[in-house]
Structure 1
Amino acid sequence: MQFKTKMIPLVGAIAFAFAGAASAQEQVVKIGHVGPISGAIAHLGKDNENGAKMAIEELNTKGVTIGGKKIKFELLAEDDGADPKQGTAAAQKLVDAKVNGVIGHLNSGTTIPASKIYNEAGIPQISPSATNPKYTQQGFNTAFRVVANDGQLGGTLGRYAVQILKGKKLAVIDDRTAYGQGVAEEFIKGAKGKGGGVEIVAQQYTNDKATDFNAILTAIKSKNPDVIFFGGMDAVAGPMLRQMKQLGINAKFMGGDGICTEALVNLAGDAIGDDKVVCAEAGGVVEADRKGMEDFKAAYKKKFGTDVQIYAPYVYDAVMTMVDAMKKANSVEPAKYLPALAKIKHKGVTGNIEFDAKGDIKDGTLTLYTYKGGKRQLLAVTK
């Protein structure tokens, strides 16, 4: 009996040792995600985070082996509240957690300051939605994006305002964020580039938390513009449209991807009208990729019980692109897979993903929308 009692813990120890050896073959790889999960655009931040969750769960279900080890991906999700200070704090937190890569941030205003922190730590960052050109103009080899930038987006809208909407007198409002100011500047360049007597009759400014626009809209109304362009997000655009209606302003209303959401319908109410709003979303799929996108949207709705807002598919693709680079480099170490990421050619649900020397996506698409009968409707996909 004494012999047996001594053997029992010994057998247990041997079993534990074998279990430890088995688990040592599994490596945890941390992928950070940052977006505004609180604040006025939390619905967009949650959409982004859900896209990351879908990718991580799919990778873990399928199983990925890199460098001879079975990889278990872990998502470290942070909330930046669309605030630059909170964004840099979130970035430092992820660096301290020794993440292998970061997907985010959502806004240009948080992405740009955070990118310096990731660059100093040598951690690759792919933004699925930050569109300000400055993000990839800083010379950071760690910064990438999977959507077209504001130069393409704002410029396309400016040309559309003049060529298609036949606008001659244009008014511009921006919310003074990096995104809002950047897209508004590019809109003006695009519109003026078409010539033909185009005039910017008013330039007004607000902020990303404002709800009262009577003063700036009254000043704009006196100029009788054909088109009003707003550089900002849907949470501000909705109330702005309501107040435009109250003041009897009948101009077309244009904006970038920040306003181009399903949520704008509820935020603007009946002020959204029919064919009154024209907006562009960075990204969009050409006909050949449409089925893949529709399949993704159906899977997303089944999983989360809600429709895709905007960028969930781009977040999903960003995660898959980063992991594809790890596979190609046969390493999860940032310094080792970063060169493979810079040269990647990945087929995603949003289309082909390949980066130029700055980290911008090559041949990025744009999708133009309007709203009719309370629903967002596709106008065109362009490059």
Structure 2
Amino acid sequence: MKKIIPLTVLAAAVALSACSKKPEEQTSQATASSGAVVVKIGHASPLTGPQAHLGKDNENGVRMAIEELNAKGLTIGGQKVQFELESEDDQADPRIATTVAQKFVDDKVSGIIGHLNSGTTIPSSRIYNDAGLVQISPSATNPKYTQQGYKGAFRVMANDVQQGKVLGEFAVKDMGAKKIAIIDDRTAYGQGLADEFEKAAKAAGGNIVMHEFTNDKASDFTAILTKIKGVAPDLVFYGGMDGQGAPMVKQMQTLGLKAQFLGGDGIHTAEFMKLAGAAAEGVTASLPGVPLEQMPHGADFKQKFEGKYGKIQLYAPYCYDAMMVMAEAMQRANSTEPAKYLPEIAKTNYSGVTANIKFDSKGDLQGGAITVYRVVKGDWQVLKTVTGQ
């Protein structure tokens, strides 16, 4: 006589079996209509809100790489594969980012390109690490991300230790600043960059006369700027994004605060110039990497990307490279399982759009360059590139 197993017991057994699988066994193995195995790639960035223009730029960089990879008809592990982009809106919010991260784990993605912000990348990285997933950030620059000891955490651009050092020295030695005021938005990115800038500026002989704080949702900086005007700085440094940097420089003009204005990659955008208008003229900012036109494959990327998606905002080339690095590691490992291709990521030596990409023992980009730009006649003009060692 057959023994009948209750459905509830069977369901529990199936659930227990699924939970007992190792992370590498839980990656998606769905089949596309073409017969290829579907390999899910997670991407997270702010797709709504004041940073949505940057988030969509990142998303499109990953999307273009995936489209090109799928057009090649790759075979990995003896099977045709088709990459599928699963993109989520983390709203640049650390709490939402961790929810998104858990969704990616539950959806059994094979890897993550993201997040955009340091403040979302760092907390989500613990979830990915616990699940045994690979995460390549194209734009999070806070050094803490790769200082946590997570084997699956990598980034394809220079970090804020490098960027802050270049900016601090440039402010004192190239811009002639002696009295410097600092404002940061208290995010992991803005505060981290401002702190590194302050250390470097002091070491170069600059005097920090004030350090004020705002947040990444603010739009009125009149009180802070009035206070800063009272100490008459030569230069104001802002650690934060373009949505706050643009109204800040406009309000500086309105108040008659004649200090030079300097920021990091968060304000080096087309959107900054659009929002700031005439007040953008003369603003100085940095961006990790060499100028796009000097990147190994920059001109070709620019033509293809802007033909599809419009003007590059900021990080799209790095997102494209991050996806290509991940796919190349999978091919070398002959597997899309994170545990199997992760060791190959660490061995990466990839000639990308942005640089020849190699990682150090922490997962940071080796030899990352920093370029300083200034707005001249409505365009970001190169002032100086400092190549990392």
Instruction: State whether TM-score is above 0.5.
Output: yes
Letter in 2 for 1:284: V
Asked if 1:337 corresponds to 2:345, the answer is no
What is the aligned partner in structure 1 of residue 45 from structure 2?
35
Output one character per residue of 1:337-371: Cα deviation in whole Å (capped at 9) or x when no partner: 00000111111011111100100000011121110
Whole-angstrom CA distance in 2 between matches of 1:22 and 1:121: 25
Letter in 2 for 1:75: L
Whole-angstrom CA distance in 1 between matches of 2:278 and 2:115: 32
Letter in 2 for 1:69: Q
Letter in 2 for 1:377: Q
Output one character per residue of 1:265-323: Cα deviation in whole Å (capped at 9) or x when no partner: 111111112x2x11101222587x5461011011111111x110110000000000000
SS at match of 2:297: helix
Q: Is the 8 A contact 2:41 2:85 kept in 1?
A: yes
Asked if 1:216 corresponds to 2:224, the answer is yes
CA spacing shift, 1:317–1:194, aligned 2, 3 Å: same
Asked if 1:91 corresponds to 2:93, the answer is no
Letter in 1 for 2:170: Y
Number of residue equivalences: 358
Aligned residues: CA RMSD? 1.6
Whole-angstrom CA distance in 2 between matches of 1:26 and 1:265: 44
Q: How does 1:1-383 map to 2 (within 5 A)?
A: 26-195=36-205, 198-273=206-281, 275=282, 277-285=283-291, 289-290=294-295, 292-304=297-309, 306-383=310-387
The alpha carbon displacement at 1:26 in A equals 2.1
CA spacing shift, 1:96–1:52, aligned 2, 3 Å: same
CA spacing shift, 1:159–1:22, aligned 2, 3 Å: closer
Q: Is the 8 A contact 1:230 1:254 kept in 2?
A: yes
CA spacing shift, 1:199–1:22, aligned 2, 3 Å: closer
SS at match of 1:263: helix
Q: Which runs of 4 or more aligned residues in structure 1 lie more than 3 Å from their structure 2 counterparts after TM superposition?
A: 20-25
User: Looking at CA atoms only, which structure, 1 or 2, has the larger radius of gyration?
Assistant: 1
CA spacing shift, 1:227–1:100, aligned 2, 3 Å: same
What is the aligned partner in structure 1 of residue 21 from structure 2?
none
Output one character per residue of 1:41-75: Cα deviation in whole Å (capped at 9) or x when no partner: 10000000000110000000111111111111000
SS at match of 2:226: helix
What is the aligned partner in structure 2 of residue 14 from structure 1?
none
Q: Is the 8 A contact 1:209 1:236 kept in 2?
A: yes
Q: Is the 8 A contact 1:153 1:282 kept in 2?
A: yes
Whole-angstrom CA distance in 1 between matches of 2:83 and 2:342: 18
Q: Is the 8 A contact 1:35 1:106 kept in 2?
A: yes
SS at match of 1:209: coil
Whole-angstrom CA distance in 2 between matches of 1:309 and 1:271: 19
Q: Identity of paired residues, percent?
A: 57
Structure 2 runs not aligned, ≥5 long: 1-29
Whole-angstrom CA distance in 1 between matches of 2:137 and 2:201: 27
Comparing 372-381 and 32-41, the one that deviates more: 372-381
What is the aligned partner in structure 2 of residue 11 from structure 1?
none
Q: TM-score, normalised by structure 2?
A: 0.90
Whole-angstrom CA distance in 1 between matches of 2:364 and 2:174: 28
Whole-angstrom CA distance in 1 between matches of 2:357 and 2:217: 34
